[in-house]
Chains A and B, each alone.
Chain A
Amino acid sequence: MQPTFSSSRILLPVRPWFVYFSLFCALLLNFLPTAHWPGMPDWVALTLCFWSIRETRRVGMGSAFVLGLLMDVADGSILGQHCFAYVLLAYGAMALARRILWFPLLQQALHILPLLIATQAIQAVMRLAVGADWPGIGYFISPLIATLLWPLLTLALLLPQYQPVEQNPDRPI
């Protein structure tokens, strides 16, 4: 059976302020003290990935670079570590953008998983190569949890774009 574009509902165009607001919220979530819990997802990477797929022209490698720089400063890590990983993530998401939306949400999440794992792994390799400490296995669990959150995140971030369900017979679209 041919896969079909599972969301048959026609979405309203995205509001630009909502994109930036959600990215800001992701930053805030990353700054919360809960970020130290093992397996806590990297919210910025997840949200960035989402908008890079949905709004390829608005959010891309440029936004990824800026967000990465902010995360580096906030983390106290070496500048460029998050930038590099996020830029690659945004590129990977853009490359997937045409294909991934034809799948149901859980299969979309499976597409996202390697991207998020790669984002963490790149950062780990960069830091371990210059003599940092092994971060523990919890660091690599967080992409798995982020993947499980993908359907919920899709619902939450697309909510402002949904139209009312009732049909107007005069205007089929």
Chain B
Amino acid sequence: MSTIETSSTLRHTAFVLRGNPVTAVAAGGALLLALIAIFAPWLAPYDPIASEVSVALQPPSAAHWAGTDQLGRDVLSRLIVASRLDLTIAVTAVAVSFALGSVIGALCGYSGGRLDKAVGRFVDVLMAFPLFVLAMAMVAALGNRVENIVIATAIINLPFYIRFARAEVNIRRNLGWVEAARACGESHVAVVLRFLLPNVLPAMAVQMSLNLGWAILNAAGLSFIGLGVKPPTPEWGIMVAEGARFISTGRWWLVAFPGFALMFAVLCFNLLGDGLRDILDPRMRT
């Protein structure tokens, strides 16, 4: 990519963000989350694991903005440190499934034929499970560890990327400019990887951002039911699970704050995904 194009992309991004404040706010939120995750150890006011029973189950106060849990640990500190783990799981899983899924899907969509059929069957089998149940079963089978949550999340995301890339490539494969690239001396593989894939990427990026939110929910759900992450590791899903015991007695902050953190993260990525669609579509550049 030339420098001219990069600067025009930046200018276009600025232009779109100005006309689309929601996306700007969402992008800001996502950035904030990333920064919090990176600087978590320095930001957390208390040790997230140290318990102090004397201050157990205190509602939000000046000393503990988000209250304390049943062991007297500071909820806010745990929330901040947990962002690292939650974001890492989601980003890694989505990156893996995106990288594999887009290439496989694009090749299938372009070539059709036997490869397409075989991959289609595989995707059908994957999609024949309710995906959360599939993830659950995989974590159970592979072993109750964080890496396996990443793998399971990546695998259940894979079919979406394959199908998406396949469909997007399929509608483009007979367009004039694709045939023109072949007439200009490109091989089939080059056409897929260097021409079709870059054109499909904007739509995939949208999918990716939306998927990040979904992956966060999925990972949190798995740890909520006791898979993957083990206490006392701070993680949003586990924090909700631990707080659940106290909701009937009105200790709302134990559920509400991690719940809000989850919601905020997912909301940012979802809104960002919608906004990205506008930014990356070159047809909207003026």
Q: Do A and B come from one complex?
A: no
